[in-house]
Structures are given as C-alpha cells and as structure tokens.
Structure 1
Amino acid sequence: MTTSEVSSAGQWRGVDLGTRTVRYDERDAILYALAVGAHATDLDLVLEDRLRVLPTFALTLAQWAPDELGGRGGFDTATALHGSQTLEVRSPLPRAGELRLSAHVGEVWDKGRAAVFEVVVECEHFVATWSLFAPGSGGFGGDRGPSAPAAPEGTPDLTATLVTSPDQAALYRLTGDRHHIHIDPEAAARIGQPRPIMHGLCTLAATTIPLARAAGAHPADLTSLSGRFAAPMFPGDSAEIRAWGTRSDLSFDVRSGDASVVSGAHVTFA
C-alpha cells in the first residue's frame, strides 16, 4: 500500500514494510553492550573470545522498521512517541553475522485523539514489536485495544539499582538512533526537556543487566521483555528497579525519584 492509498490510520493495519538484510560483527555487539551498561569486567559481554550477545541488541538491528513507517507517512514523526516495546527471543543471536528481517504493521488501535501503531519485525532469532503513539491520528472508528497492565501490588520480591553514565546517551546513539534530542540541548529544549534524554530502548535494555544479576540470572539468557515508557530518564541519573515474581519470570517497574520511567514491564530469563 502506498501513502496516497491510505486515508486513515486504520488502513495501515497489516501493511508490509519490506525486508532488510542487516550485518554486524563482534565490535558492534560489544559497543552495544557497553552502551547499555556492561562493564570491562563483564568479559562474556565485551570480549570477542567469550562473547555472548545481549538479546536486546536485536532492537538496534530492527530500528529501521518503525522509521520506515514514519517515512511512508504513517504518522507524524515530529509528534509521535515510542509508547512501549516487546521482544520475544526465538534463539540466541550469533556473535557476528547477517540477518534477514521482515517487517509489517500489526494492529492499529484507535485511542480517540490518537492512534497506536504496532510495528512488528521478525527473523529466525527474534520477534520485536514497537508500539508508537501518534497524536491526531485517532478517531477512525477502530478498536481501542488493550488497557495498560495493572501495577503489581505488595512488597517487591527483589530490588536493584540502575546507574547510568552522563555519557551513556552519547554512546548509545552510535548504535543507530541518532536523534538530536539525545545529544543536543537545543533539540531537547524544543520537546520541553531541560537537557538531552536517554533513549527509551537504552533505559529498558540497561535495566535488564542489574535486574538479571539481582535475580541470579545472566542478562544474555533473557527470553522475553516488555515495558511501557512512562517518562524520560536523563544520562547520569539513577533509578530504582522493583520486581515481583521469580528468577525466571518477573514483573517490574523503574522509578527515578518520584517519576515512573518504565511501567507495566515484564521479563523472563532462561
């Protein structure tokens, strides 16, 4: 379907966004691990000879797909927001290689004043789904879609701390998402932020490293991940991770000060 053939957001449902072959090597996977908070002492994340590729690296390889929908005019790229993200791991990513990714528009939910587009990317190793909140695109008579998951209740079963570097967004943008709001104070000011903000996908992925350690798991053993982006986090800030469940199946949220940064989140480890 071409842009000229689409008269409402709902008609994007199911549209094929094409395929793309992506290539990477150990250097790319190591750069990613460092960008989401791995340390030099985490040898199996940063040393070629022992390398285990973090599953969330897949999200950088697939970032072209939501950009493709925006480029085709599916939503206004100046106002759309990344609402939530899911990742399902089918098999571990190789240390280096070539992957053929296919993408399509999944559901398009009608929230009234906005639409939510799901962009689904898949290959033999993973399925990743972006949910993109597009103000001004709703009202086309579609289904509102599912509600946000209820927040867990009671005392968390475990807690951890996410500590970010002042330079983390500058490093993470080298993995693919080079939007200026993550590096340029003037660009951040134009969206009402006092300084450049962390990438949502960086925050979500970075959370899985201390969370895995607190749960007695390895971050490379992640098998599924989901979360909603509730508020931005700033490079150099710390956040509290609260989790409910067992080592292999955890609901969690992330709070920085009084603000919820990631909500309704869930992770499983093998």
Structure 2
Amino acid sequence: MNEWIGRHLGERTVSYDERDVILYALAVGATTADLDLVFEERLRVLPTFALTQAQWAPDVLGSLGAFDIRTAVHGSQRLRSLKPLPPTGELTMAARVTQVWDKGSAAIFEVEVVSDYFVATWSLFAPGCGGFGGDRGPSAPRHPETAPTRELSVATSPNQAALYRLLGDRHHMHIDPEAAKAAGMPRPFLHGLCTVAAVTLPLAEAAGAHPADLAELEGRFASPVFPGDRLDVRCWESGEAVLFDAAVDGTTVLSGGRAHFRVTT
C-alpha cells in the first residue's frame, strides 16, 4: 500500500454559478432568513461548497483500484479555506494521495485536493487493505473531559439527502432503499459532508461569526445520519476554535470536530 503514497490523481478545472451556490446552501440547511446565502444580489459562498467541487478526487482513487469501492467509507474530512470563493467562477484543483495508514484490518487513505482557494483532505477507511506493515497514524481526537460550554440542536430534513445529491455525489445508497440495504444500511442515509456542513451553520451563530467566514473545519464520521434525524451537538471553546461532536438519540455520529471562524468586528 505504501506505493500509493504521493500518487498524483490528476488536475481538474470545474465551473459553477450562483444557482449551484444557492442550491448548496439550501441543501445544508440555510433558509430565507440567511439572505446572503440564498439571494444572488448579496451572495456569499459557504466554504464547504468547495468539497462538492472536489469530490472527483477520492472517486478517482477508488477507480484506480486502491481499495474496494463497495466497502470503503468516508472516515473523516478536513478543510482549510485560504480565501473566499467567488459566487461564480472556476476552480482549478490538483489532487494526490498524501498518506496511507495501516490500521491492521483496514487502511486509511488520505487524499488531498489543493486549489488557490482551499486545501481539503479526505480520509477513506478501506477494510481489508491493512496489515502491510505501515505506520498506524494518529489516534482519533477526543472531546474534552469538561462539560460542554454550549449545546445545540440541528434538525435535518426528510428530503435533505435527495437535495444534496444534486450537488454531485449521486451514490445510489443516499436515495435508493435497495442500494442502501446492499451497503448494510436499513434505508438511504445522509451524506457525511452534508451533515458536517449543516452543523457549521449553528456553530457559526454560536461563535458570533458568519458561516461563510469558516476558516478551518475537521470531523470524523462515526455513524450514519438518516434524513429527518435531529442532531444534538456539544461544543467546547478552545482558543479561537470550537471543538464539537454530535449525536442522534445518544449515538455519536460526528466526533473529533473542530471549527475555526474568522470573526470580524
């Protein structure tokens, strides 16, 4: 598996417009109250929108045969925003495999996508690919032992996965009950990137920031979220960042979360 480290996955230029940006904001929970996220006359772009434009990169790695695409899952995500995305334009991106961690029974592939606007890293958990004698990699981050400084509730919509998949991730397991069952799920489930992006909206409000001012984000996908679920989010202040996790009916669905917003005064 070490031969994959450093593998160049190609470059790609994609274009988007205001309609894509607004559809994305609605898909992750924005409403008409968030006028500058859904109205083209004063539009700001959520930094997590970039992840929908860069999804091609981990898909390329799977198509090259690095792992079984039927069993590999999205383990975690990191995003660093370098500058605001324009409401319309083009993104030129380059992707490569930065690391492969050996977890014994599985491997974790890290895919990094770089552009002038962001750096995004997918961690892909691939069962059956471990045991090659590589480094195990860092341990999963834990939330503080102290009581959370704030608790939030985030509602998801029954139609949210159907809406979010129009942004590019059209894997059938998010819409087709039979495909979800084949993937070991009782019914179609929400995209992990939709879940973590939805959480950033109330996190920004709690931090006194605008969600478009997100500078850094990371989180691990611990369990599936189903459209219509309500997330109970716990937050801890940590310097300029907010640490968080999220649960549904007591089951952790997001862990090791960290968000940092550029707060302007």
| TM-score of Structure 1 vs Structure 2, range by shorter chain | over 0.9
1:251 is matched with 243
1:25 is matched with 17
Superposed counterparts of 1:195-234, under 5 Å: 195-234=187-226
1:174 is matched with 166
* Pairing 1:36–2:28 present: yes
Question: Residues 71 and 183 of structure 2 are in contact (CA less than 8 Å); yes or no, is this contact kept in structure 1?
Answer: no
- Structure 1: which 5+ residue stretches go unaligned? 1-8
* Pairing 1:56–2:48 present: yes
Superposed counterparts of 1:53-132, under 5 Å: 53-132=45-124
Mapped partners of 1:10, 1:81: distance in 2: 20
TM-score by length of 1: 0.95
Give 1:247 shift.
Answer: 8.4
Superposed counterparts of 1:131-146, under 5 Å: 131-146=123-138
Matched positions, count: 262
Give 1:213 shift.
Answer: 1.2
* Pairing 1:191–2:164 present: no
- Structure 2: which 5+ residue stretches go unaligned? none
Question: Residues 82 and 229 of structure 1 are in contact (CA less than 8 Å); yes or no, is this contact kept in structure 2?
Answer: yes
Mapped partners of 1:121, 1:245: distance in 2: 29
Cα RMSD after superposing both structures? 1.0
Q: State the Cα deviation string for residues 78-117 of structure 1 (Å, max 9, x = none).
A: 0101000000010011111011100000010111111100
Structure 1's consecutive aligned runs of 4 or more residues displaced over 2 angstroms after TM superposition are none
Give 1:217 shift.
Answer: 1.3
Partner secondary structure for residue 55 of structure 1: coil
After superposing the two structures, state which structure 1 stretch, 169-178 or 246-255, moved more. Answer: 246-255
Q: State the Cα deviation string for residues 47-72 of structure 1 (Å, max 9, x = none).
A: 01110000000100100000000011
TM-score by length of 2: 0.97
Question: Residues 189 and 225 of structure 2 are in contact (CA less than 8 Å); yes or no, is this contact kept in structure 1?
Answer: yes
